[in-house]
Amino acid sequence: MAGHSQFKNIMHRKGAQDAKRAKLFTKIAREITTASKISDDPSSNPRLRAAILLGRANNMPNDNINRAIKKGTGGDGDADYVEMRYEGYGPGGVAVIVEALTDNRNRTAAEVRAAFSKHGGSLGETNSVSFMFDRIGQVVYPAKAAEAEAMFEAALEAGAENVESSEETHEVTCSQEDFAAVRDALEEKFGAPQSAGLVWRPQNTTPVDEEKAASLLKLIDVLEDNDDVQTVAANFEISEDVLEKLTAA
């Protein structure tokens, strides 16, 4: 299990319990609201289109989506979210990047700092660990969207750098600069993706033993459970044996 950065951290870690789903809807709604301040037209606003796609992929009701858009375009003072990035180290020296949308910087900073401190980590300065990651584009399709070979060929033709296909998904990655072109080309050929956006990919991973892994996963859970936190990226590597032990515990 390797650390990564995308909404599926939030979506899949503990399944579809109602509480988790409600929190996910809150996070996606904030992204939709923030993106819609640029433009409320998804066809000309890639960030809004990606956020709406993410909502629909997680069965977010259209009423929630439309309400979030209206909140962003209606000049609602309560909808003035600020994008923040926090960086630090988790247990075992694992590098962690936390991205947030907040209406109260002091509150979010204090909560993120407390999470790091309580679970064996330490919050650092901006850019203290981001140099260990690459900012890349990622487009994810369900496996049924296309055969692996067809997705691979279309992605490479569009300018992608890599495609990883599994029984569940096709994960297409590309440079940050080529992201819009790759996403649009694949969308034209295969329809709307399951998710699409920029993510943090670790350049190298840090192996974590059982004790550190338990603390690290708890830290990530606490961070992801925070309503202000949108994504968590980390450069950890946990062996299957350790994962099995932690799951059985």
Distance from C-alpha of 79 to C-alpha of 147, rounded to nearest angstrom = 42
Contacts of 204 (CB under 8 A, 6+ apart): 132, 235
Check residue 14 and give its pLDDT. Answer: 44
Q: DSSP readout, 114-140?
A: HHHHHTT-EE--TTSSGGGEEEEEEEE
Check residue 8 and give its pLDDT. Answer: 44
Closest CA to 238 of 246, 226, 230: 246
Distance from C-alpha of 85 to C-alpha of 112, rounded to nearest angstrom = 10
- Tell how strand 162-165 and strand 169-175 pair up: antiparallel
Tokens matching residue 115? 């999470």
Distance from C-alpha of 13 to C-alpha of 93, rounded to nearest angstrom = 22
With vertex at residue 140, the alpha carbon angle to CA 170 and CA 194, rounded to the nearest 5 degrees, is: 120
Q: What are the phi and psi torsion angles at 164 (to 5°)?
A: -120, 115
The helix (run of H) or strand (run of E) holding residue 59 is none
Task: Please give the chain's pLDDT, 249 residues, in tens.
Answer: 555 444 444 444 444 466 778 888 999 999 999 999 889 998 888 889 889 988 988 889 999 999 999 988 885 555 688 999 999 999 999 999 999 999 999 999 999 999 999 999 999 998 999 999 999 999 999 999 999 999 999 999 999 999 999 999 999 999 999 998 999 999 999 998 988 889 999 999 999 998 899 999 999 999 999 999 999 999 999 888 888 887 776
Q: What confidence tens digit (pLDDT) does each residue in 10-35 have? A: 444 444 466 778 888 999 999 999 99
Check residue 248 and give its pLDDT. Answer: 74
Which strands make up the sheet holding 169-175, listed edge to edge?
162-165, 169-175, 133-142, 195-202
Distance from C-alpha of 86 to C-alpha of 90, rounded to nearest angstrom = 12
Check residue 195 and give its pLDDT. Answer: 87
Structural domains present in the chain: 8-79 (1.10.10.200), 82-131+205-248 (3.30.70.980), 133-202 (3.30.70.980)
172 touches 155 (CB < 8 A)? yes
Closest CA to 88 of 230, 199, 235, 237: 235
Q: Which residues of 158-182 are buried (b: 16+ CB within 10 A; e: fewer)?
A: bebeebebeeebbbbbbeeebbeeb
Check residue 78 and give its pLDDT. Answer: 58
With vertex at residue 5, the alpha carbon angle to CA 101 and CA 43, rounded to the nearest 5 degrees, is: 65
Q: What are the phi and psi torsion angles at 187 (to 5°)?
A: -65, -40
40 touches 32 (CB < 8 A)? no
Residue 236, classed as helix, strand or coil, is strand
Check residue 6 and give its pLDDT. Answer: 41
